[in-house]
Amino acid sequence: MLVIVLGSDDGGGGEGTSASGADGEAACEEVEPAQPKEVDLPAPDAKRPTASAVVISTNCGSFTITLDAERAPKTAASFQYLAEEGVFDGTPFHRVVPEFVIQGGDPAANGTGGPGFSVTEKPPGGLVYRRGLVAMAKTPAEPPGTSGSQFFVVTAPADAGLNPDFALAGEVTEGMDTVDAIAALADPSGASEGPLSPVVIDNATIEE
């Protein structure tokens, strides 16, 4: 079984769609849990994205990921391809860790799946996984910069303390309030890394 994990050496705000209640608590629409789906795509041919951004719409609101075509063109092109092929649609944010990351994009809906291909692009030098940065998850056995479809958004206040192994995709430039609403669904007891209620990606659309 393929288990996607994030490794650590020690363990953008915007308008977007409001997903916070009057007391600052997440006010996400109640939805059924995401169901697994089979995806088996060939690797993309493009080595650079033609889109500038991908908008991720969820039951907690939407947020915009501006793709980093300069520092990570191959990974950004793959992210665009995944959005265009509908890989993200109907998938959950299956991992929500307080003040660390939210992670989603898995067709298997449980953190073990992928799109049927992987691409590898070495992360840019000096990359810091700071709040709002979007990068790709991988297994510890895979080379640095390997990515499939699972991605994470850093919610740590500053540096998440991750090793520079995870491929850069871009940065949240609108809708960080939605990201925070999803992050607020973390289990405060730490008994589970899954959200307290389902968070599902309705669709991912590209912006030219």
- C-alpha 208/C-alpha 197 separation (Å) is 33
Q: Which pLDDT score, from 0 to 100, does residue 66 have? A: 98
Determine contact, residues 11/161, Cβ cutoff 8 Å. Answer: yes
Determine contact, residues 150/103, Cβ cutoff 8 Å. Answer: yes
Mean pLDDT for 117-141 is 96
Q: What pTM was computed for the model?
A: 0.88
Q: Is the pLDDT of residue 74 over 50?
A: yes
- Per DSSP, the residues of 21-80 read -TTS-B-PPP-PPPPP-----PPP--SS-S-SEEEEEEBTEEEEEEE-TTT-HHHHHHHH
Among residues 58, 69, 65, the alpha carbon closest in space to that of 197 is found at: 58
Q: Read off the pLDDT band of 58 (50, 70, 90).
A: very high
Q: Is the pLDDT of residue 12 over 80?
A: no
Mean pLDDT for 94-118 is 96
Among residues 199, 113, 120, 190, the alpha carbon closest in space to that of 153 is found at: 199
Among residues 12, 31, 15, the alpha carbon closest in space to that of 195 is found at: 31
Q: Which pLDDT score, from 0 to 100, does residue 17 have? A: 36
Tokens representing 64 are 């915009």
First to last CA, the chain: 37
Write down all domains in the chain, each with its CATH number in brackets. Answer: 53-207 (2.40.100.10)
Among residues 203, 22, 5, the alpha carbon closest in space to that of 100 is found at: 5
Amino acid 167 reads A
Among residues 63, 64, 91, 98, the alpha carbon closest in space to that of 149 is found at: 91
Q: Which pLDDT score, from 0 to 100, does residue 189 have? A: 85
Q: Is the pLDDT of residue 9 over 70?
A: no
Q: What is the dihedral of CA 69, 62, 19, 30, to 10 degrees?
A: -130
Q: Read off the pLDDT band of 131 (50, 70, 90).
A: very high
Mean pLDDT for 26-39 is 92
Determine contact, residues 58/171, Cβ cutoff 8 Å. Answer: no
